[in-house]
Amino acid sequence: MANLVACQLVSSPDVSVNLKQVEDFIAQQNAGDLVVLPECFACFGAGDAALLSITEELDEGPIQCALSAMAAKYKVWLVAGTIPLSTIKSGKYTASCLVFDDAGRRVDEYQKIHLFDVEVEDGTRNYLESKYTQAGEKVVVVDSPFGKIGVAVCYDVRFAGMFVAMGDIDVLVLPSAFTRTTGKAHWEPLLKARAIEKQCYLVAANQGGVHANGRETYGHSCVISPWGETLSEIATGTGTAKAKFEPSEISRIRTNMPVQQHNQFRSYLV
């Protein structure tokens, strides 16, 4: 039986070091597992502008080649956090989450839609993700051996309408770099709410510590059941949270409590 795996990193600005750690984690998993990496896994802790220097074209570049090779070598489905990909706008990139199958083929790309332009009471205080990031516009659901996988990134989790637009999904993946301050307040309740309302597994892979530029991320990467139970979690630092994927559990919960059949607002689905 396949596992759902959330990898937690404390990524540095050094791409090669981060990719080595990613491969170390993937090598420990079983063939057929679904492995999710955190947001900005390849480069973090040097400011958003630093990501411009590692921006790649879609389906080209060393980061994507490495990810494809890892997925194929270890025969896992890989949700590759986010990496910066080129846009037509000069000086901007998309925060793109690429999904690779167990043969190393890219099967889809999700571009982060909701950008983190906020003030937080921490050492960074002002976050302006839109300065360098071009927001995406398309909701992405991927067909896979795990059923339908809905893809979202970090700040997206606050916008319930996005998950309504996904329709029925079996697994929700959420690569993140949630701040320590906002994570302490909102991470767990938001994740559990999404798993419960969608009656699906949720795999949340977060950054988990203090980074090179002093930015603090919350960690607590986890796998949550369709009933809203935390099946596995890692608090801070690096490591993995892992749980069995049991489609029968999804069916049981949806049969006993057919929320979508009872939903009086289905006509609003995008």
The residue type of 69 is: A
Amino acid at 44: F
Task: Give, in order, the Cα–Cα distances in Å from 87 to each of 93, 111, 217.
Answer: 5, 11, 27
Output the six-digit token pair for 80: 């590759």
Catalytic residue among 56, 112, 198, 200: 112
Cα–Cα distance for residue pair 62/214, rounded to 1 Å: 27
Identified catalytic residue from 39, 109, 216, 233:
39
Residues 6+ apart with CB under 8 A from 143: 149
- Count the helices and strands in the chain (H runs, E runs): 7, 14
What's the chain's length in residues? 270
Rounded to whole angstroms, the Cα distance separating 49 from 204 reads 25
154 is an active site residue: yes
Residue of 7, 43, 97, 154 marked active site: 154
Residue type present at position 39: E
Tokens representing 225 are: 């059941």
Helices (H), 118-232: 160-165, 180-182, 188-198
Q: What dihedral do alpha carbons 200, 205, 206, 212 form, nearest 10°?
A: -170
Residue 188 appears among annotated catalytic residues: no
Among all residues, which ones are annotated catalytic?
39, 112, 154
